[in-house]
Chains A and B, each alone.
Chain A
Amino acid sequence: MINENSKVILSVQDLTADVDGTQILKGLNLEVKAGEIHAIMGPNGSGKSTFSKILAGHPDYTVTGGEIAYLGQNLLELEAEDRARSGIFLAFQYPIEIPGVSNTDFLRIAYNSKRKYAGLEELDAFDFDDLVQEKLEVVKMNPAFLSRSVNEGFSGGEKKRNEILQMALLEPRLAILDETDSGLDIDALRIVAGGVNQLTTPDNAIVLITHYQRLLDYIIPDYVHVMEGGRIVTTGGKELALELEARGYDWIREEETEVAV
């Protein structure tokens, strides 16, 4: 929901970044305010996933220029874990498996890391269990998944639901969902999207990275951005996604070329 007076959560200015010496981001600008849902679309290799990993603090990417302000603070000064603790959440395209570590324990460790950072008392196993049972509803997850090892033997859809469960627990100010819809059948997509919608508040913001307009039928974006060659080249409303679905990305490249001429 767009509200001009709401607080700026994320402000990215002229961001450039490398991985292994190859420049991926080439002057990216984006402003995200509280209450807003932004979708970032674009062809493979345009830098969408790189952008999401840079926001979350992946060590393999080097920011070479520009600024990222998160709630007015220089985000690049924070370690990955501190970004998470201060409210940035990245739902992974490929969540990793951790054999032997139960989902409950993992969720509790993550939840308590955040509480500790905020100067709050950690929750014990019993109180945490009550909380997590409540959050399971958000993604319609079977409680049996709590006692299983983190993501081990989970189907693609179960892994993505588990990501949204983590989001529900950690209550981020800024959630970045990196292709959370990829590989989901329509039922799983509905559940995941429904979960995200329940977690949307006027105080937080969501950035969806997706290949498919389909997701945006369920999570209605306020803005749709098209990324190409490491920057955002076009921004529009939700109707832009429909146009992209129908026409592909080539027309944007052509328009850009015309403008450049």
Chain B
Amino acid sequence: MIDVSTVSEVGRAAVPANVDRATYLSHLLSLRSPLTDAFSWLQAVRDRAAIRIPELAIPSTRDEEWRFTDLSSLLAIELQAITSQPAAIAQSDIESFQLPEASTRLVFVDGVYVPELSAIADLPKTVFVGDLAAATAAGLTDPMLAHLATQPGAEETFTTLNTASFTHAAVIAVPKNQTVTTPIHLLFVSTHGQGAALNHPRCLVMVESNSNVTLIEDYVATSDSAYFTNAVTEIWLAPNAQVQHTRVQRDSLAAFHIGKTAVTQARDARYTGNAISLGAAVARHHLEVYQTGEQTETTLNGLSYLKGHQVADTHSLISYTQPHGTSHQVHKCIVDDRAHAIFNGKIFVPQLAQLTDARQLSQNLLLSDKARVDTKPQLEITADNVKCAHGATVSQLENDEIFYLQSRGIDQAQAVKLLTYAFAYEVIAQIPIASLRENLLQRIA
């Protein structure tokens, strides 16, 4: 089934006349801190990205890819220069975010790695998990240089800004034939700090042949203040490697969150990505999967749960280049009040990618009359022997469903909660960490 999707025209928000989007981007670059001598190996990567910034600008709703996601309000925020001194927070401040299942945890506070809050345990000796400094000390500069900012989507504006700016990173390197049995928790905490912070979290995950790792990339806040998180995560799967990746964005409701997940799968590699978006005033997630070998398996589960005036935009891309690939993507949005969810799901299946089996489903639940969803499947298929299916539904809770619960003595408000929970459950149930599932479901029910 291949449908042609149409998306209705909408009014374009006006750009504030006094802020130039190119100037503002250059200003964001100027807020970075210099690399220390220990990271001189990274200077060339940084320079290559920085040199492109003057050619770029913060996207506006005139850009097709950003037509529904207006960043004008970001331009009005005065962001602080990036600090190397994180706010002092104690273990007790982040206790509620810790996952008992994950004995290895890297904690970054306002973008800065904090070893005192982190823990590394229960890992096979040959597996590396640590921050950029530890990775440098462990002699991983060559593989890092080979993998940082080398995937196709690295040219995108915000990814370029991150590459040109980041000074801290989480690095995971799993050698061949290793199964990491305990999940790894990458926790990015934003605090109140001194004014609005600008963070460029970076994660680099390199998994060699036949290895298997589970990770949770988690963005949380200890206050409800405004800040801008511009995150980039790069995941590389060598042949027959397997990664279970859960990304949770539970930033403050005043925050801006722009995130990139870029995944490259070599032949026979299996990637599962669960992306949950709950926080931020404006959130954007670029989820890109590049296939470099045949017979890859990709599973993407997404959930955005929005209230108030929140905006959450997911742009996904699955780019096939080889035969026998399969992908199964479900993206759900629950939208209440005057919130706005956007989903754009690209799947490219060129001539070489014969026998691809790609399925995509976008399901949306509107909980109020003012809530809005824009969903656009975008399949470009030139191979002639493939199975590609997509579907999109936008619905409200059915009177019959609510009535069923009422007829059992459950009042309407609780009935709506139970049914909303049921809608979200299908996605959250895919998360392989029980405590995180519970935590997220409690937030919805």
Q: What is A's interface to B at a CB cutoff of 8 Å?
A: 53, 56-60, 79-81, 83-85, 89-90, 92, 95-96, 98-101, 106, 109-110, 113-114, 117, 149, 166, 170
Contact = CB atoms under 8 A, between A and B. Distances in A.
- The secondary-structure label for the interface of chain B is helix
A170 B403 contact: no
Size category, B interface: 20 to 34
B399 A110 contact: no
Contacts of A85: 409
7 contacts: A60-B399, A81-B409, A98-B419, A100-B429, A106-B408, A109-B418, A149-B425
B426 interface: yes
A104 to B, nearest CB: 14
Contact of B403 (A59, A98, A110): A59
B409 A84 contact: yes
Contact of B399 (A59, A84, A90): A59
Contacts, number: 76
Nearest to A88: B407
B418 A56 contact: no
B155 interface: no
B445 to A, nearest CB: 9
A53 B406 CA distance: 12
B410 A81 contact: yes
A168 B171 CA distance: 57
Contacts of B406: 57, 79-81, 84
Nearest to A56: B407
B192 to A, nearest CB: 35
Given A58-B399, A96-B400, A98-B418, A84 B425 contact: no
B422 interface: yes
A99 B409 contact: no
Nearest to A112: B409
B409 A114 contact: yes
Q: Which 8 A-B pairs have the closest CB atoms?
A: A100-B425, A113-B409, A80-B406, A110-B408, A84-B409, A81-B406, A85-B409, A96-B404
A99 B419 CA distance: 8
A90 B425 CA distance: 27
Given A58-B403, A80-B403, A113 B410 contact: yes
Nearest to A86: B409
